[in-house]
Amino acid sequence: MNRRQLMLGGGALASAPLLGACGNRGRVIDTPPGLPVSRFGPNSTAEDVTEGLDLSGQVALVTGCNSGIGYETMRVLALRGAHVIGTGRTEEKARKACASVQGETTPVVLELSDFDSVVRCSKAVQSLGRPIDMLICNAGYVAGSEQQHAYGLDLTFVINHLGHFILVNRLLPQLLAAQQGRVVMVSSFAALNEPIVEIEFDNLGFKNDYDPLHSYAHSKLANALFSLELSRRLSGSNVSSNALHPGVIKTNITRNQAGIAQWLFGIYADLFNKSIPQGAATSVFVATQPNLSSVSGYFFADCNPIIVKQPPNNLYNYAMAQRLWEKSTQLTERWLSAELQL
C-alpha cells in the first residue's frame, strides 16, 4: 500500500480530496486581462443567466441529460427555445428526460465507455441534418474503490475524456456549419488537487497506483486540456471551446462511492455550495452569452473566466494539452475515422 492509498483508504477519508478540490476555498483566483466580467456569480441560476435570450433556431447537444446539472442545462436551453439533443446511457433514460421538459428535444443513446456507441450517437446526430450551435460535454463519472478498465485504460479517463474526445471530433463538421459553434467542457476544480495533477501518459490504466479521487482529478484535468488544445486548433474558425468548474453540487455523480463518502459529500454540498440550478448556470452561460462569441481557450467558474494562480496547476499547460491531443488521437484513431460503419 502506497502513501496515497494509506491516507485515502477509508470511505470517509476518500471523500476528503473530492470535497476540498471541487470547491474554491484557499485558492488564489484572478480574471484574465481583457475579458468581460459578468454580473453573474455563484448564486446565479441557469434561468438567471439566460433571462431575455431567445435561442429559437439553435441546436444544442447535452451529454448526460437525464439527471443533475445535465438535466437542468437541457431544461433551460429548451425553455429558451433551443432544440436540445439530450443523450443518456440508455434509450429509456434519454427519452424519459427529454419528454419531461418543455420545448423541442431529441433523445439519443450515448454510452461514453463504449466507443462504438459514441460513433452511433454521432451518426444519429448527423442524420438530423442540422448544424450544432452548442455541444455541452456534461456527462461525468466518479469511480468506486474497485478500479475498472475499458480498452485497457482507466474507466474514468475513458468516460470523462476519451468518449467526449471522439464525440466532439466527429461532430466538428456540424459545429463548423453553425453561425457560431461552441464546445463547452464541464471540468472541475478537482484538477487542482495537490500535489499538482499531471496527465500520466505512461500510466493511463493506473494499474499499480489506483485511487478513485486521483483518477477523477486526472480525467477532469484532461477535460480542461482537451478544451484548451481544441481552442488552439480551431483558432480563426467560427467555433470556440471553453472549460468550466460548475461548483460542488449534490447530484448522483458520487453514486459509486462508499455510503459514508456519499453522506459526507451530501452534507458538504448542502451546507456550503450550489443547488442544481446554480450548478448548471456556468455551463449555460458559456454556451449562450452573446458577448462570449469570440472568447475561446479559457476556464470559467461562477459565470466568469478565471486564472488560478495558487495552487500551482496545469489548467493552461499548452504543451501538456498538445501531447494529450496526440495521445488521445492515437488511442481512438479507429473511431475517429469518418469511414467507420457500424
Q: Which residues are catalytic?
A: 210
Of 312, 318, 242, 309, which Cα lies nearest the Cα of 30? 309
CB of 141 closer than 8 Å to CB of 159:
yes
CB of 329 closer than 8 Å to CB of 212:
no
b/e sequence 153-177, b meaning 16+ C-beta within 10 Å: bbbbbbbbbbbbbbbbbbbbebbee
Of 158, 104, 137, 108, which Cα lies nearest the Cα of 243? 137
CB of 152 closer than 8 Å to CB of 121:
no
Rounded CA-CA distance 127/123 in Å is 6
- In the beta sheet, which residues pair with residue 182? 134, 240
SS3 state at 212 = helix
Report CA 255 to chain centroid distance, whole Å: 17
SS3 state at 207 = coil
CB of 328 closer than 8 Å to CB of 226:
yes
Of 18, 35, 25, 22, which Cα lies nearest the Cα of 286? 35
Peptide bond into 33 cis (omega under 30): no
Rounded to 5°, angle at Cα 33 from 313 and 223:
35
